[in-house]
Chains A and B, each alone.
Chain A
Amino acid sequence: MVTNRKFRSAGPPPPATTLVLDNGADTIKAGFVAGGKASEPRIIPNCIARDRHKKLYVGSELERCRDFGEIAFRRPVEKGFIVNWEAQREIWDREFFDDTAPQECDPSETRLILAEQPNSLPALQTHCDQMVFEEFGFASYYRGIGPSFNAYQDVQAVFRTPREPDTPVEIPAEVILLIDSGYSHTTVTPILQGRPLHQAIRRLDVGGKLLTNYLTRLLSIRHFDMRNETYIVNEMKEAVCYVSLDFKGDLEKSWKGTRGERREDYVNGAGVAKDYVLPDSHTRFHGIVREYEPGASSRARKGAVVSTEDVLTLRNERFAVPELLFNPSDIGMRQPGLADLVMQSLSVLPIGLWPGLLANIVVVGGNAKLDNFIQRLQMELLERVPDECVVRVARPADPITSTWQGAANFAMHEHVEQLAVTKREYEEYGAGWVARKFAAGLGVSS
């Protein structure tokens, strides 16, 4: 309250509850902060989906869907930014504002903390501010870039830094290099004391969507036509894909060989091959991963076993797909890989900051859940940085909700009072003023 007085002499006290939203392209992470305590975030699919029977599902209604075959999505968020407000409003209405909404709240008595992707377009930011105040009527609002919220948590616990148990936790963290690899793209953001270093933010246009689509293409060339089965392929990607620590070796193991050659590794799978049983949409609605059975496919072809299930044998698809994050040029993209992206980001910063940033690299976002992602990034970075630098790469326990957790901590931090804008201020000074205030950020006091 004291801080509030200081910054806004005549304003009313800030709202007691805060709605914290990480409005991602694939899922919304939403939860409330009230009375200094944060609830558990709910993960809501941010889409309007239509299944093959033309039934529509909005947001969390997708839980009720059982058959995901040929499902199509309409997503209000494109490239990480809210573009289609018609759809976004419908989803928000059903999740937060309707009488029967699962997380009902009254916007006029609530503060909204909204995470957005860095380097947004000014027009989209203005749209967002106008919608929040003029359509939903939130009492108070802050829109900040998602990566910098991650600094508002106990980062050293993520790294398991040895320390005395009673050491006070620094919030925001002094220095971290945050990599956010989400649905639309992957960004690198160096953050000092919770303030992002805007000049060094870099983006790689490879995200989970591109990986899923690439897997779809590979499967459609080699196995079945999966082009309309985005959801099923995405499940498959999450279940079987991994980042290879030895790309050459793994590729060698999964090669069938020249004509007539029967390579040992190819025949027995060599630990790379896996069978994936596709859902048949009668008894099974989700795919199953199985260990590779060397003789199974040939037996099925001979008709020895009458099989009712569709089995895909995945070999180099398992690691060639996530490889795009590290080598986008494999599909002709003219962008550097993730490790080079980090180096490009560092190259605009003074070298004095490198050791601190490299020793505190946090990876969040859905792609961070891929096996070996952290190890591969660390390996590639060690090849590129000076020998003396310590490179530590880690991911939080739940990389998907990490930004939300940080934003929830931010909502309880004193910084929020400096940054949030009330509805009255918006009405008095206009959208341009609000945009400039958010763009200016915290500033540096001393």
Chain B
Amino acid sequence: MNNFGVIEIASTTTKSTPGWAYVPDTGPTLPAALQPTNRKRAARNQPALSLSDLSAREETRIRKELEALDRDNPRDLSIPIPPKPGGSGRAQNKHTSNVRKILQSQKTFANHLDDYQAMLALAETNPAAAAAMNAALAKPSTPTTATAKSASPAPTQSPSAAGGSKRSAAAAKRAAAKEKQEQEKERKRPAKQQPPKPDPSPSTQDSPAPPAQPPVQNDGATAADVEMPDAPPATGTNTSTTTTTTTPPATAPQPQPQPQTYPRESLILPPYQKPPPRPHTGDNDPLLVSYVPPFPTDDELRALMTAPPLSYLEARAKWGDGGGEEARYPPRTFCAVCGYWGRVKCMRCGTRCCALDCLTLHGEECVGRFGG
């Protein structure tokens, strides 16, 4: 389609003003539509707001409302910090450069989040620049200690600063790679995963490092994602012992009454030690047999417990991953006036109302498309 080199940028704002507007050219239009033969009542014969137009407006409205609900104060206001009552307090000129920067920063959380996303994107396209940015962020504390460190007799300590920046670059890279993996995984679930990128800074491990994370963290995370198959209980003796699961387990997850039938040498979650509950006549009843899923191995547990944190955006729950319950029901609608079920729609603006009473009340202040 020839669009004369104009690229439409998807925007979430729509302006509904009389006059003219840019409209997306979505396909070949009939010349008849452009130049109607019947000019009579042209305004009335125009199609109403299209569905996409309405839904875009609706989306914008909802987004604005949610933003309004997320505010601390109804209005923008700046409350200054009051002066100290005694006039004393700590001296103001003793701040280090880092502290001064932090205190003077007027960034909001949204700014920080944007920065973070930009950094991730940068790490994907230009790792060197991201490393430099990262190093600037996590600068070692004070210049005095830095010089002291470089002059210190212990040579093993010196690469820690450089190693820090390198490692943080690697961490940024890993995060980016991980996010990519996540996206890929969402797109094609059964496809095989990319192997995680090798850590490019293994040589910096000689500096005093925190408890090292296992390099297989990505593998571990994806392995944990795999759903456990619904295997039948391993042995016949096992099934006969699991009828007591209706009693609330005291401490261990689904404690097995007879640990010896449930081979588990987990050191992370030690097996149930207490004596099993008294046998019951119904224990061998095939109708009462319940299924106990296989317990994860120590390796799986370790991978789960040492996996790195997700980023802020990854941790946000979204519709449609797992759970699945939310996809089954359409969203409920409520009366905009009284809060009962929204059973009818205003013909002009699409707002939901419960019944005539509320609809007439709403109609008094309903402003349609062109104020009509």
Write the residues of chain A forming the contact surface with B, with a CB cutoff of 8 angstroms.
Answer: 48-50, 56, 58, 72-75, 78-79, 81, 83-87, 89-90, 93-94, 97-100, 118-124, 126-127, 130-131, 133-135, 156, 159, 161-163, 170, 173-175, 187, 192-193, 195, 197-205, 209-210, 213-214, 216-218, 221-222, 227-228, 230, 251, 254-259, 315-317, 320, 327, 329-337, 339-341, 343-344, 346-357, 359, 384, 388, 390, 392, 426-433, 435-437, 439-444, 446
Asked if B248 and A446 make an inter-chain contact with CB atoms under 8 angstroms apart, the answer reads no
Asked if A316 and B293 make an inter-chain contact with CB atoms under 8 angstroms apart, the answer reads no
Asked if B341 and A251 make an inter-chain contact with CB atoms under 8 angstroms apart, the answer reads yes
Q: Across the two chains, which residue of chain B brings its CB closest to A217? A: B69
Q: Across the two chains, which residue of chain B brings its CB closest to A315? A: B339
Query: Which residues 271-324 of B sit at the A interface, judged by CB distance below 8 A?
Result: 290-296, 298, 300-302, 304-312, 314-319, 321-324
Q: A123-B115, A431-B139 are in contact. Are A258 and B81 (CB under 8 A)?
A: no
Q: Across the two chains, which residue of chain A brings its CB closest to B74? A: A227
Q: Of residues A210, A327, A332, which shows the largest number of chain B Cβ atoms within 10 Å of its Cβ?
A: A332
Asked if A74 and B268 make an inter-chain contact with CB atoms under 8 angstroms apart, the answer reads no
Q: A327-B332, A329-B331 are in contact. Are A440 and B108 (CB under 8 A)?
A: no
Q: Would you give the shortest CB distance from B248 to chain A, in whole angstroms? A: 5
Asked if B248 and A123 make an inter-chain contact with CB atoms under 8 angstroms apart, the answer reads no
Q: Would you give the shortest CB distance from A47 to chain B, in whole angstroms? A: 9
Asked if B250 and A161 make an inter-chain contact with CB atoms under 8 angstroms apart, the answer reads yes
Contacts of A193 in B (CB 8 A): 268-269, 305
Q: Of residues A86, A135, A320, which shows the largest number of chain B Cβ atoms within 10 Å of its Cβ?
A: A135
Question: Could you say which of A173, A340, A428, A439 contacts B325, with CB atoms under 8 Å apart?
Answer: A340
Asked if A332 and B66 make an inter-chain contact with CB atoms under 8 angstroms apart, the answer reads yes
Contacts of A251 in B (CB 8 A): 339-341
Q: Across the two chains, which residue of chain A brings its CB closest to B117? A: A121
User: How many A-B residue pairs lie within 8 Å, measured between CB atoms?
Assistant: 357
Write the residues of chain B forming the contact surface with A, with a CB cutoff of 8 angstroms.
Answer: 62, 65-66, 68-75, 77-82, 84-86, 88-90, 95-96, 98-99, 102-109, 112-113, 115-116, 137-142, 145, 149, 157, 160-161, 164-165, 167-168, 171, 207-213, 221, 224-225, 227-228, 245-246, 248-254, 267-269, 290-296, 298, 300-302, 304-312, 314-319, 321-326, 331-332, 334, 336-341, 354-357
Asked if B252 and A433 make an inter-chain contact with CB atoms under 8 angstroms apart, the answer reads no
Contacts of B309 in A (CB 8 A): 118-119, 198, 201, 439
Asked if A436 and B210 make an inter-chain contact with CB atoms under 8 angstroms apart, the answer reads yes
Contacts of A89 in B (CB 8 A): 103
CA separation between A228 and B323, bound complex, in Å? 39
Question: Could you say which of A99, A161, A340, A347 contacts B248, with CB atoms under 8 Å apart?
Answer: A161
Which 3 pairs between the two chains have the least Cβ-Cβ distance?
A: A356-B253, A347-B322, A430-B140
Asked if A437 and B210 make an inter-chain contact with CB atoms under 8 angstroms apart, the answer reads yes
Q: A134-B98, A436-B167, A439-B309 are in contact. Are A427 and B141 (CB under 8 A)?
A: yes
Q: Would you give the shortest CB distance from B264 to chain A, in whole angstroms? A: 10
Q: Across the two chains, which residue of chain A brings its CB closest to B146? A: A430
Q: Would you give the shortest CB distance from A163 to chain B, in whole angstroms? A: 6
Contacts of B109 in A (CB 8 A): 78-79, 81, 83
Contacts of B115 in A (CB 8 A): 123
8 A/B residue pairs, CB under 8 Å, sorted by A: A97-B90, A254-B339, A258-B355, A259-B355, A344-B317, A344-B321, A353-B295, A388-B290
Asked if B357 and A256 make an inter-chain contact with CB atoms under 8 angstroms apart, the answer reads yes
Q: Across the two chains, which residue of chain A brings its CB closest to B59? A: A332
Q: A228-B74, A329-B332, A344-B323 are in contact. Are A443 and B248 (CB under 8 A)?
A: no
Asked if A204 and B307 make an inter-chain contact with CB atoms under 8 angstroms apart, the answer reads no
Q: Would you give the shortest CB distance from B303 to chain A, in whole angstroms? A: 9
Asked if B253 and A48 make an inter-chain contact with CB atoms under 8 angstroms apart, the answer reads no
Asked if A258 and B246 make an inter-chain contact with CB atoms under 8 angstroms apart, the answer reads no
Q: Would you give the shortest CB distance from A166 to chain B, in whole angstroms? A: 13
Q: Would you give the shortest CB distance from A160 to chain B, in whole angstroms? A: 10
Question: Could you say which of B68, B98, B157 contacts A428, with CB atoms under 8 Å apart?
Answer: B157
Contacts of B334 in A (CB 8 A): 320, 330
Contacts of A427 in B (CB 8 A): 141-142, 145
Question: Could you say which of B65, B108, B113, B212 contacts A121, with CB atoms under 8 Å apart?
Answer: B113
Asked if B253 and A124 make an inter-chain contact with CB atoms under 8 angstroms apart, the answer reads no
Q: Would you give the shortest CB distance from A10 to chain B, in whole angstroms? A: 12
Asked if B248 and A335 make an inter-chain contact with CB atoms under 8 angstroms apart, the answer reads no
Q: A119-B315, A130-B141 are in contact. Are A356 and B254 (CB under 8 A)?
A: yes
Q: A89-B103, A331-B69, A388-B290 are in contact. Are A175 and B157 (CB under 8 A)?
A: no
CA separation between A340 and B325, bound complex, in Å? 7
Q: Of residues B80, B171, B269, B305, which shows the largest number of chain A Cβ atoms within 10 Å of its Cβ?
A: B305
Asked if A330 and B331 make an inter-chain contact with CB atoms under 8 angstroms apart, the answer reads yes
Q: Across the two chains, which residue of chain A brings its CB closest to B358? A: A256
Asked if A352 and B228 make an inter-chain contact with CB atoms under 8 angstroms apart, the answer reads yes
Question: Could you say which of A75, A198, A337, A436 contacts B307, with CB atoms under 8 Å apart?
Answer: A198
Contacts of B139 in A (CB 8 A): 430-431
Q: Across the two chains, which residue of chain B brings its CB closest to A218? A: B339
Q: Would you give the shortest CB distance from B269 to chain A, in whole angstroms? A: 6
Q: Across the two chains, which residue of chain A brings its CB closest to B356? A: A259
Contacts of B306 in A (CB 8 A): 195, 440-441, 443-444
Q: Across the two chains, which residue of chain B brings its CB closest to A90? A: B81
Contacts of B340 in A (CB 8 A): 251, 254-255, 316
Asked if B325 and A199 make an inter-chain contact with CB atoms under 8 angstroms apart, the answer reads no
Asked if A256 and B338 make an inter-chain contact with CB atoms under 8 angstroms apart, the answer reads yes
Asked if B138 and A435 make an inter-chain contact with CB atoms under 8 angstroms apart, the answer reads yes
Q: Of residues A216, A251, A357, A443, which shows the largest number of chain B Cβ atoms within 10 Å of its Cβ?
A: A443
Q: A93-B90, A99-B88 are in contact. Are A209 and B72 (CB under 8 A)?
A: yes
Contacts of A330 in B (CB 8 A): 331-332, 334
Asked if A350 and B137 make an inter-chain contact with CB atoms under 8 angstroms apart, the answer reads no
Q: Across the two chains, which residue of chain B brings its CB closest to A425? A: B208
Contacts of A355 in B (CB 8 A): 245, 249, 253-254, 292-293
Asked if B298 and A446 make an inter-chain contact with CB atoms under 8 angstroms apart, the answer reads yes
Q: A121-B113, A134-B95, A336-B318 known; 14 other A-B pairs, CB under 8 Å? A: A58-B82, A73-B73, A127-B102, A197-B307, A202-B315, A214-B69, A343-B322, A348-B322, A350-B300, A355-B245, A356-B269, A431-B140, A432-B138, A444-B306
Asked if B81 and A430 make an inter-chain contact with CB atoms under 8 angstroms apart, the answer reads no
Q: Across the two chains, which residue of chain B brings its CB closest to A89? A: B103
Asked if A340 and B323 make an inter-chain contact with CB atoms under 8 angstroms apart, the answer reads yes
Contacts of B90 in A (CB 8 A): 93, 97
Question: Could you say which of A83, A203, A217 contacts B315, with CB atoms under 8 Å apart?
Answer: A203
Asked if A230 and B74 make an inter-chain contact with CB atoms under 8 angstroms apart, the answer reads yes
Contacts of A204 in B (CB 8 A): 317
Asked if A388 and B245 make an inter-chain contact with CB atoms under 8 angstroms apart, the answer reads yes
Contacts of B85 in A (CB 8 A): 100
Q: Would you give the shortest CB distance from A28 to chain B, in whole angstroms? A: 16
Question: Could you say which of B102, B224, B338 contacts A222, with CB atoms under 8 Å apart?
Answer: B338
Contacts of A119 in B (CB 8 A): 309-312, 314-315
Contacts of B355 in A (CB 8 A): 257-259
Asked if A359 and B138 make an inter-chain contact with CB atoms under 8 angstroms apart, the answer reads no
Contacts of A436 in B (CB 8 A): 167, 171, 209-210
Contacts of A441 in B (CB 8 A): 211, 306
CA separation between A199 and B208, bound complex, in Å? 27
Asked if B304 and A197 make an inter-chain contact with CB atoms under 8 angstroms apart, the answer reads yes
CA separation between A432 and B210, bound complex, in Å? 11
Question: Could you say which of B62, B295, B308, B357 contacts A439, with CB atoms under 8 Å apart?
Answer: B308
CA separation between A222 and B340, bound complex, in Å? 13
Q: Across the two chains, which residue of chain B brings its CB closest to A170? A: B251
